Structure 1
Amino acid sequence: MERRTFLRAAVAGGTAVAFGFSVTREAIAYPAEAGPSPYGPLLPADANGLELPEGFTSRVIARTGQAVEGTPHVWHGAPDGGACFTDGDGWIYVSNSEMGAGTGGVSAVRFAADGTITDAYPILSGTTDNCSGGATPWNTWLSCEETDRGFVFETDPWGGEAIRRDAMGRLKHEAAAADPDRRVVYLTEDEPDGNFYRFVPETWEAMSAGTLQVLTESDGALAWVEVPDPTAAVVRTRHQVAEAKTFDGGEGAYYRNGTCFFTTKGDNRVWAYDAAANALQVVYDDDLTDDAPLTGVDNITGTPAGDLYVAEDGGNMEICVITPEDVVAPFLRVGGQSESELCGVAFDPAGERLYFSSQRGPSGRSEDGITYEVTGPFRR
């Protein structure tokens, strides 16, 4: 019997079968399969080149090398990972800059309650290849350097001092996802033999000290083991624990309700780490999906309704939605930018606006990045 059929049968009539992992609503029918989008088909491209479902509209928030509208702040190159933070009646969107050789960093855009841009400013500079990251429950942004022996920087969306968090390890960092239930932060690593980590701070809300652990697998059992030398002074972090489970090119990460979802680009997979059950599931695998709509998986975010949104690095330049019913379908498509990638997916606090960037725009160059906003009737 196929696993999908077995799992459906196992929970029929509300009965769960114990076979090494928890059967939850979010794990009933993994992996997701192609199907119709809950938002309907994509319409012809709008004035900004975006194909969107009916009822949705877009606007350009910022362009690399140009001042953000109404502000003197010039938008950074190669916009990448991002997140939103509540700011009174409005909100702030932060965006990484994946520029190299000390020219990266993070910028922020502040919005009023009606969506009007009121300010834009830098919150980190002088770093390298700031790719993805993650928001914390205490309203800071963890910006990750995707470079050999890179660092994590904790930044203030309101423009306060940014602090390098050495205790979070030196590796080719990609994304971070805070788990307030277990008081840990999960970390992905963008290497073909990358690992999946968690940082256990000595004090929650203080990233200055703590323990870096790596997920291991032995005889099918998962465990967290301390990394002997997070500074990677002699041996690279991912090579220090022999039993460490490897993942092919870790990308985005997103935590919700006891599960950390993360993506791996080398095998085009979306994973779900069930922290309570200490179990790992494959949410999506393009090799196991007929007419797979999602390829080049990258940044990921989600909604309280249970939908996941995954941006493509390549593919058809789409952001795809994976529903709680385990259907995957395109939510939007960007035309004429095949040499770019989509990243920085994040919702405003009300869940009415989705932000994302095309990192290299129509020209395929880091100096041509575009950051967008999509507004519409998102499922919340």
Structure 2
Amino acid sequence: MKLVNKKGIFHAQFKTTQGTTKTITTRCTNRADAERVVKESGLKDLELAARAGRLTQEAIGYLISGRKLTLQKALEDYQEWMETRGKSPRTIMNNVHYIRSWITAAQVEALPPAAITEKHISDWINNRESQTKANSRTIMLAAIRSFFFFIAGKGWTPNDPSKLVSVNYKILSHVQKETTVKRVFTAAEYDGLVKATDGFWRFAIQASRELGLRLGDICQLEWDCFRQPGYITVWTDKRDKRVSLKMSDGLAQAATLQPVAHARYVFPEERDIINDPTRRAYLSVSFTRICARLGLKGKSFHCLRHTFATESNAEGRSLTQIASDMGHSSTRTTEGYVHKI
């Protein structure tokens, strides 16, 4: 390990266990202060420690972040970062929940990020005793990968162990491997839903069935989304994709009939609910109760989106066109929404 002066700032330069050279700033402008920081941080024998497989990653994290860094503290910073990126409250809540569950189960709260190996992650994702389905494990792993993408971007770890982890299908049962099949609404069921509802729910049901919009995007609608006559233009909440969709005359009329309760948002009350992680489930529960009153079992609001894709495909529209309308980045995703009818 040696100190290198770069543009008036001293940096600690050392070799990692992989043999690569890493340079970390000490934030000091004179050698004496830099040597003191190196000594207090435990970096003095860093290169020897690396060769012995004992990298003082906690010291590295301290130098970069200016504090003693643990996974628990990194998670707090990650949550703040997600918020500044404009991620939806639901995405933030779910990711933080999965990451915190992993940290607790793996008992790594006090470890620095760079001390985590792929085994710490894989043992949780591929827990043989868990009845968690493959799809859910994939989502859990995606949350952890997002976390380590942030950590690596901050320079708090030289490697990303999550990239070496995948869901092990060999340990899963048939039931765990199978995905839950979404069911589409029949024409009669859809008509029943429209007749049984009014206000927000009637418009939401029509918009999702006719245009494939997500419940969250409908709740977030602004009056400006209807600026172009006969069309609705939406920036999707989940992927930040712009979609411009032609409305039927009936849906366009339904939009004009909505009362103006807010200068900007069409459904301010539902928007407040969908953006509150502690209350957003209320909307799904409300729709489930509407279905129950009509004797519709095994259906969710998202099934309307599947209905849109399925019927669009049956009408001869290409998967590329349907994917574009639904805000999908790949037609492979869209394929999962198209069912035989």
Normalised TM-score (structure 1): 0.18
Pick 1 or 2: higher relative contact order, CA cutoff 8 A, min separation 6: 1
Identify, as 1 or 2, the structure richer in helix: 2
Q: Which of the two has higher C-alpha Rg?
A: 2
